[in-house]
Amino acid sequence: MVPPSISPIALSDSDSLEIRGSPTPLPLGKGDIQAFPIIIEAFSTPNSPCSVRSSPDFDAPALPNVEMHLSSSLPMDAVFSRCSTPLYSPQSLSNALVTSLGTTEENPSVSFDDEETDRSLYSPGVSKPRSIQQTSSARLKCPEIMLNWPHGSLFNTYPWQLHAYHPNSLGFYFSGIKENGSEFWIRSVSCDEYVIGENACLPCHAVETSQGLQKLQACVQEIDKSTNHGYYNFEQLRGLANEYRDRMNQYRLSTMNLQRQVGNLVISIGDHRHFIMAVATADIPRIRQLVQVALAQNASSKEIVRCIDMVVLGVAKTYSYEKRGFDLGLLCLQLGGPKLVYALNHAAGLPSLSSIHEHAIKCNVVISNGNPKTTDIQANIKSFWGFQQTDHISKKGHLLLIDEINLEE
């Protein structure tokens, strides 16, 4: 067992070990310690620091970590430094022993070639620590970093495709996920892989505050609409698909409305063509009055064409006359009599005799027996150009109402 005052440190081939006040050098040769990735030599002179360096006569690759242990028997003051930074300064240290784990997991212990070599490294009366024959300290694989995903389930909101597009730009690898879908493990791209203890290495800890992870979470919270769809996560793609589906339904409704409007326009154009053909081919009297009456009744083009066809077939007849038609009918009545009015009514569509008597203005001429008198002339002038009364004027009467009459039996 390593004494309580002894603590392990990790050194590389670029690190240095200083032991101040060592009375004797501590030579370590090539055959002294086996399973070393590098051969270490310690040189010391009185009142001078002792440096630890790689042996120049042994060509072997250096491992990133070398574990250092000390066994104490004489009071000494030792200062260990890593990259010019002191790690600790234990008291009562002497006879520094440098041990290391093996290069493979199958041979993690430190051993010596023979007992003589072992005894040469210790002062008389000092036994070899048992920690040299056993593993001095276990090297564990980096446990990586577990993070909490605050944006819902990782299965729906995590942008998995970014690891395929830019595997090294994020600065970490995705290692695992829990069943709840909110906690996951990540490993840094520059992970040390092996650590001393149960905590993760420094590169993995640095990923928690890295810009890559912050940018990834920012893209999950809000993403620009102009971003390539390949960088969307599943939830964002589903929202985008729903948006496109709603927009497609709106376009579909707009297209159906346009189709209906176009169909109505085609039907209206056909009705107008029928109307033009009916007017151009049929000789219909008073067609203008027929169209005016239809428009006053808010009839469509199709209804107007139907009325024209009925008039052409003789099923319907227009009864809308103007003042000019009544005047012409009255002239025919006075010149040719009722028979001429009857013939023109059926042939030319003039008003009938009853319509002429109802709407025509009647002028009574006073005939003088002798020389015309002034009263006769004024009466005739008044009859033609004065107040004219027609027969269709409503009649007037009086109404007599009597109340409060006692009836006697």
Three-state secondary structure string covering 5-51: CCCCEEECCCCEEEEECCCCCCCCCCCCCCCCCCCEEEECCCCCCCE
The pLDDT of residue 262 is above 90: yes
Rounded Cα distance, 133 and 36, in Å: 14
Backbone angles phi, psi at 185, to 5 degrees: -110, 145
Please state, as a whole number, how many other Cβ atoms lie within 10 Å of the Cβ of residue 59. Answer: 9
What's the mean pLDDT in 369-380?
Answer: 85
Nearest to 306 by CA among 292, 316, 298, 296: 316
- Identify the pLDDT of residue 212: 79
State which H helix or E strand residue 194 sits in.
Answer: strand 194-195
Between 317 and 172, the higher pLDDT residue: 172
Report residue 133's pLDDT band, with 50, 70 and 90 as the boundaries.
very low
Per-residue tokens: 266: 């085609």
Give the HSE-up count for residue 167: Cα atoms under 13 Å, Cβ half-sphere.
5
Rounded Cα distance, 23 and 77, in Å: 12
Radius of gyration of the chain (CA): 61
> Against a cut of 0.75, is the pTM above it?
no
The pLDDT of residue 240 is above 80: yes
What's the mean pLDDT in 8-22?
Answer: 40
- Identify the pLDDT of residue 387: 55
Average pLDDT along the chain: 66
On whether the CB atoms of residues 58 and 86 are closer than 8 A, the answer is: no
Burial class (CB in 10 A: 0-12, 13-18, 19+), 115: exposed
The pLDDT of residue 231 is above 50: yes
Burial class (CB in 10 A: 0-12, 13-18, 19+), 96: buried
- Identify the pLDDT of residue 131: 36
Percent of the chain surpassing pLDDT 90: 6
Report residue 113's pLDDT band, with 50, 70 and 90 as the boundaries.
very low
Least confident residue range of 92-106, 168-182, 186-200: 92-106
Rounded Cα distance, 82 and 314, in Å: 121
- Identify the pLDDT of residue 354: 86
Between 164 and 135, the higher pLDDT residue: 164
- Identify the pLDDT of residue 298: 87
Q: Give SS3 for 140.
A: strand
Per-residue tokens: 137: 């300290």
- Identify the pLDDT of residue 380: 84
Report residue 353's pLDDT band, with 50, 70 and 90 as the boundaries.
confident
Phi-psi region of 200 (alpha: psi -120 to 50; beta: other; left: phi over 0): beta
What's the mean pLDDT in 132-140?
Answer: 50
The pLDDT of residue 162 is above 60: yes
Report residue 249's pLDDT band, with 50, 70 and 90 as the boundaries.
very high
